[in-house]
Amino acid sequence: TVAFFRKQLNTTALIEFGKYIQKVFPAVFSTEFIQHEVVGEYSYLFTVQGSDPQLMPYMLLAHMDVVPASEEGWKFPPFSAEEDEGYIYGRGTLDNKNSAIGILQALEFLLRRNYRPRRSFYIGIGHDEEVSGLDGGKQIAMLLQARGVKLSFLLDEGSGILDGVIEGIKSPVALIAITEKGLLTLNLTVRSDPGHSSAPPKETSIGILAAAMSRLEKNPMPRLFGYGPELMMFEHLASEFAFPLNIIMKNLWLFSPIVSRIIERKPAGNSMVRTTTALTIFNAGIKGDSLIPFAYMLLTVSSQVLEIVKDTIDDDRVEITVTEAFDPLPISPWDDQALGVQIFRRTIMDVFPHVSSIAPGICIGNTDSRHFTNLTDAIYRFNPVILKADDVSRIHGWNERISVKDYEKQVDFLFQLIQNCDIDKLPKPHLSTHEL
């Protein structure tokens, strides 16, 4: 189910995926109180009708599409789902077929036990999240909005349970992203006269564009640590650090400049403290002895930085056009009155009792959840999977994998979550370490 570009999808695989889930989850597709619909040709929307219409519904969101992968660099072919030493290798095992299949499997298990939820909920499985979600996730959101649906909360992919990922924290901690960064995709183009490479001009279009790219990479955007939920995250996790870091984290009003310099040393941390720049697609040249008349590249940065990009490049020969743009998502509630937060806390502590703290965070990537802001102000991004330091680079990288044990835990989490949502009032909140 590879998504290359928008409108360039492996539609055959998407159709086969639809047939597969109908085959392996028969109860989900045949139960009377569950309605399933195909949206945007390949995406799925499930409406699970609860027994108590007074309870406000919620939504579980995932996607079936994956980014491309070549066999080079992989221990096993990336689409073989090879199992080795307790791990399943394959593109999508962490992003995000584990969630798509896990949600349906948890529901299937409940249905086979003759369980009917009290609280209604929706399941959305998009088919093009990796290439914008405009034809899948967004269409699901628009359909629900047209029906007047309002959600108590929405849970999508995003953060996870980090074990040894945050430097200085030894115990596993659960991060639930309460927002995600915005995005700005720019097309940089340089045009010049064509000719023969034996008589080149002083500067070619490729050289001009390469110089612009170099300036962008050598001049990162300003630090913005402390202007988003990352400050709240470290305050929640302060007690997880050993001395003297715990003192520093508890006094970020004083030490935030120092902390931001430490965090930015790693790519994931750098994405939390500033708008980042990623040079993604470069296109130039057609023949070894020919000078091309133009060169272009795609640049992905966060929004509200167009002027900074122009000032950094400082070359009028580089044309800059916007191809995609959207703002950061609103920050979702994080308090004892937020139903989703309390449900997540309770379920995490039930299924992952070794987790020492649960904290809000920021999703540095973009998800389909951004299309659902008209349905709820409580959008959370959390993948109930334990991620170790080397797992992070596997997402969209080589040797993506999930352990069988971790996948079983994910299904257990979703199995418990659905049941925990069948309450009239908020559960008594669990105290995380920083609150003791």
Residues labelled as active-site residues: 65, 129
- Among the listed residues 419, 420, 410, the one whose alpha carbon sits nearest the alpha carbon of residue 97: 410
Query: What φ, ψ does residue 317 adopt, rounded to 5°?
Result: -75, -15
Q: Residues 422, 374, 226, CA angle at the centre, nearest 5°?
A: 90
CB 395 within 8 A of CB 169: no
- Among the listed residues 104, 121, 115, 2, the one whose alpha carbon sits nearest the alpha carbon of residue 410: 104
Q: For residues 393 and 81, give the distance between their C-alpha atoms in angstroms, rounded to a whole number.
A: 19
Q: For residues 27 and 52, give the distance between their C-alpha atoms in angstroms, rounded to a whole number.
A: 21
Q: For residues 130 and 2, give the distance between their C-alpha atoms in angstroms, rounded to a whole number.
A: 9
Read off the tokens for 197. Answer: 């490479």
Q: Which uninterrupted H or E stretch holds 404? A: helix 404-420
Give the end-to-end CA distance of the chain in Å, rounded to a whole number. 46
Q: For residues 285 and 278, give the distance between their C-alpha atoms in angstroms, rounded to a whole number.
A: 21
Read off the tokens for 161. Answer: 């349970």
Q: For residues 117 and 76, give the distance between their C-alpha atoms in angstroms, rounded to a whole number.
A: 40
Q: Which uninterrupted H or E stretch holds 296? A: strand 294-301
| H-state helical runs in 288-396 | 306-313, 339-351, 389-392
Q: Residues 166, 161, 423, CA angle at the centre, nearest 5°?
A: 140
- Among the listed residues 209, 203, 205, 207, the one whose alpha carbon sits nearest the alpha carbon of residue 192: 205
For residues 137, 142, 143, 146, the Cα torsion angle rounded to the nearest 10 degrees is 160
